């Protein structure tokens, strides 16, 4: 037996498609039809109209996009750009704007705007790399080639 | 259709009331009857009698209050004061005391006592604002007014 | 009534035993038969063969061990040594090696190798103590004695 999540990819795609429809049509979120997200990613349903996610952006598992702050009584627009990768368990705080082609590291807590084409990580998140070359879903240049080579070598699979 | 969590607020209140009773009567936690918490907030059940939460305090989603440390073999009292807001996904480590009218930012990991009337954030958590004017559930002065104005303008809703 | 998780310890052990078999035989992970983990601990199923956990190591609730990075297109081996304690909600990033007898604090995000016999904490994780004396499951010297004394005093129980 050799189980891998990849075997259930088709089912995952169907469920996410349904979820996206619920979020967009039911809650009024602004999720681009091409954005992808983990089923455990969490979009703020207290102010769903403040959630914006751009084209070809990926939101990894347990990531949170917040759009309201009870302590200040505010609802804000939180905007994630296009071609971003929002890492697992990260938190994008209310009102933050993540630029296009940016990567948010796993577990990062993002409390200020993220410039386009940068990688941020940490809590609070800091820029750890600038001028990156990220494409769809935040894939860095050469990632496809690396993945193909690694699969061919079968070193890890 | 226009779904929002607010539509299910009454159901949430009933469930939380039942949960609070289970935590207090069943596990022996010290949760003030007026404290509120998300259903996903996590109180340490290994040492439930070490959990203390004061009046009119709010514990946001996925927040964790720890009261034991396996590496040291200790069980400790962890105390969250009154009128606090404990942010989403934050972790209050065993033995920590959070003062009254304090705010813990989303995703913060709190490893030392939080003075009353401060805001802490980060991992490890640091004081980012002092002498704040927070009332019930950590609401900052003016929050109600801000919220009313925003709702009236209907800018985000 | 006096509920405590301890009352369900036997059931937990059975379930974990089944889970470990699924992870090892089904997914191909390298989990030592003596390692223990919370049911909510998360092992990367995208690259399960990259997950390595040593003998007498404990993985606490909601901890995550990652073994792939979509942005770089890589699958990596992530190795947790023996006699470690991996704290609640911590994240071990892909390719990291955690040395034997090390402790990772709750909520830590570990982005580089952890030397043996150290405690790391924070995001990004930093060494906060060196040359510790940790035994099975990361228990520090004297922890058993502390626990026995505390139980006898019944101060917290």
pLDDT, residue A136, reads 96
Phi and psi dihedrals of C48, rounded to 5? -65, -25
Stated pTM of the model: 0.93
**Which has the higher per-residue pLDDT, C155 or A95?**
A95
The number of beta carbons lying within 10 Å of the beta carbon of residue A141 is: 10
Kindly list the residues from chain C whose CB atom is less than 8 angstroms away from the CB atom of residue B74: 143, 146-147, 150
Specify whether the CB–CB gap between B123 and C125 falls below 8 A: no
Average confidence (pLDDT) over C113-124: 98
Phi and psi dihedrals of A109, rounded to 5? -115, 110
Q: CA nearest B104 in A: which residue?
A: A71
Q: CA nearest B126 in C: which residue?
A: C122
The pLDDT of residue C157 is above 80: no
pLDDT, residue B3, reads 60
pLDDT, residue C138, reads 96
The pLDDT of residue C78 is above 90: yes
The distance of C42 to chain A (nearest Cα, Å) reads 11
Tokens found for residue C55: 């003998």
**Which has the higher per-residue pLDDT, B8 or C146?**
C146
Q: In what order do the strands lie in the sheet with B51-53?
A: B30-31, B51-53, B78-80, B97-98
Tokens found for residue B141: 């002065």
**Which has the higher per-residue pLDDT, B78 or B4?**
B78
Specify whether the CB–CB gap between A75 and B156 falls below 8 A: yes
Tokens found for residue A60: 């990894």
pLDDT tens digits for A35-94? Answer: 999 999 999 999 999 999 999 999 999 999 999 999 999 999 999 999 999 999 999 999
Strand partners, C58: C36, C85
Average confidence (pLDDT) over C51-58: 98
Q: In what order do the strands lie in the sheet with A64-65?
A: A42-43, A64-65, A91-92, A109-110
Average confidence (pLDDT) over C115-133: 98
Alpha carbons A12 and B79: distance in angstroms, whole number: 42
Alpha carbons B125 and B139: distance in angstroms, whole number: 20
Q: How confident is the model at residue A153 (pLDDT cuts 50, 70, 90)?
A: confident
pLDDT tens digits for B56-78? Answer: 999 999 999 999 999 999 999 99
Q: Is the peptide bond before C124 cis (omega within 30 degrees of 0)?
A: yes
Q: How many residues does chain B have?
A: 157
Average confidence (pLDDT) over C57-83: 97
Kindly list the residues from chain C whose CB atom is less than 8 angstroms away from the CB atom of residue A137: 70
The distance of C138 to chain B (nearest Cα, Å) reads 6
Please provide the average confidence, as pLDDT, over all residues in chain C: 93
pLDDT tens digits for A103-127? Answer: 999 999 999 999 999 999 999 999 9
Which domains are assigned to chain A?
5-153 (2.160.10.10)
Q: How confident is the model at residue B153 (pLDDT cuts 50, 70, 90)?
A: confident
Rg of chain A over all Cα atoms, to the nearest angstrom:
16
Q: Which residues contact B140 (CB under 8 A, 6 or more apart)?
A: A71, A72, A73, B103, B132, B133, B134
**A27 vs B157: CB contact, 8 Å cut-off?**
no
Alpha carbons C78 and C92: distance in angstroms, whole number: 8
C-interface mutation test, from A41, A59, A101, A107, most C Cβ less than 10 A away: A107
Kindly list the residues from chain C whose CB atom is less than 8 angstroms away from the CB atom of residue B50: 156
* Least CB–CB distance from B156: residue in A49, A71, A124: A49
Q: Which of B30, B38, B41 has the alpha carbon at shortest distance from B13?
A: B38
Per DSSP, the residues of B27-56 read T--EE-TT-EE-TT-EE-SSSGGGEEE-TT
pLDDT tens digits for C10-30? Answer: 888 899 999 999 999 999 999
Tokens found for residue C38: 């919370």
Most confident of A11-15, A18-22, C153-157: A18-22
The pLDDT of residue B7 is above 90: no
Q: Is C5 on the interface with B (CB under 8 A)?
A: yes
Strand partners, C69: C74
Q: What ipTM goes with this model?
A: 0.91
The pLDDT of residue A25 is above 60: yes
- Chains B, C: CB pairs < 8 Å: 83
Q: Is B108 on the interface with A (CB under 8 A)?
A: yes
Specify whether the CB–CB gap between A24 and A52 falls below 8 A: no
The pLDDT of residue B112 is above 80: yes
Q: CA nearest C124 in A: which residue?
A: A122
């Amino acid at each position: 037996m050799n189980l891998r999540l990849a075997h259930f990819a088709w089912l995952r795609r169907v469920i996410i498609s349904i979820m996206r429809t619920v979020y967009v049509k039911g809650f009024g979120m602004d999720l681009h039809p091409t954005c992808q997200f983990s089923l455990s990613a969490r979009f703020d349903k207290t102010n769903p109209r403040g959630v914006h996610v751009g084209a070809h952006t990926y939101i990894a598992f347990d990531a949170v996009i917040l759009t309201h702050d009870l302590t200040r009584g505010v609802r804000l627009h939180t905007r994630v750009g296009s071609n971003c990768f929002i890492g697992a368990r990260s938190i994008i705080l209310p009102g933050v704007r993540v630029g296009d082609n940016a990567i948010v590291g796993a577990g990062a807590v993002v409390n200020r705007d993220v410039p386009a084409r940068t990688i941020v990580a940490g809590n609070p998140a800091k820029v750890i790399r600038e001028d990156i070359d990220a494409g769809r879903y935040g894939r860095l240049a050469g990632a496809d080639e690396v993945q193909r080579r690694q699969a061919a070598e079968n070193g890890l699979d």
